[in-house]
Amino acid sequence: MPAIIFDCDGVLADTERFGHLIAFNQTFRELGLPIQWSEADYAIKLKIAGGKERMASLLNPEFVKQLDLPTDSSAQKTLISNWHKIKTEIYMEMVTKDKLPGRPGIVRLVKEAIDAGWKLAVASTSAEQSVRAVLENVVGVSQSAQFEIFAGDIVSHKKPAADIYLLALKHLKMSTNEALVIEDSRNGLLAAVSAGLRCIITLSSYTKNEDMSEAIMVLSDLGEHGAPMQIMENRSNVNLSSFLTLKDFEACLLT
């Protein structure tokens, strides 16, 4: 059967603005670091894939000297890892308190796919425990058990590199003609396309102005009954209506 591979942040839920940014800033406060990212700052940081990598971008020579941080690369790596653990704990608490609702159409589409026997996966640069928590919070524990999860440092090169999607295809034992990707960012889109996969974009808070010209369609979200999606671009042969269905996904695989 075919597969749908979801990104996590910005696709399953709008986690970047309402989750990760808040968790990063709370972490900085708890650590006593003189930094707070604004929404504009974080939009720039999102060009860097991975939470640890975004934190590591702080370690310029001036910042390191100002706070008397280690200059050795190994010690800095350990420092960032410890910072990120604190951030992940804060973020996980937010998720478990149900502060990050799923995006429109996710629960509906997942149920359709499970009922039809499709394979489901998540491919994300976020920490695996964070991805699992978001997935369970959005689709429920029972339905989340139907997913394969590929996340965090499972590959050497994060998006926009193709590594995580190539790994997913290998583990799912699928060809590029049997799977579709749902992403929200250009980094994710480039990763999917580089792996030879067709990609549907559902724009999120921070990605509305990004170039998505390689996507087969660009949508506001997946849409719901009574809450239609907005169609920005459609390069597929699918005649779209007010929400995306599993039949639409089947047609996309033939595009």
What positions carry a catalytic annotation? Answer: 7, 9
Estimate to the nearest angstrom the gap between the alpha carbon of 115 and the chain centroid: 24
* Residue type (1 letter), 208: K
Per-position b or e across 60-99, b if 16+ CB within 10 A of its CB: eeeeeeeeeeeeeeeeeeebbeebbeebbebbbebbeeee
CA distance 119 to 110: 10
CA distance 22 to 249: 34
Please check whether residue 180 is in contact with residue 5, taking contact to mean a CB–CB distance below 8 angstroms.
yes
Sign of CA dihedral 21, 25, 30, 33: positive
Enumerate the β-bridge partners of residue 148.
121
For residue 157, give every residue at least 6 positions away whose Cβ sits within 8 Å of its Cβ, in sequence order, or none. 163
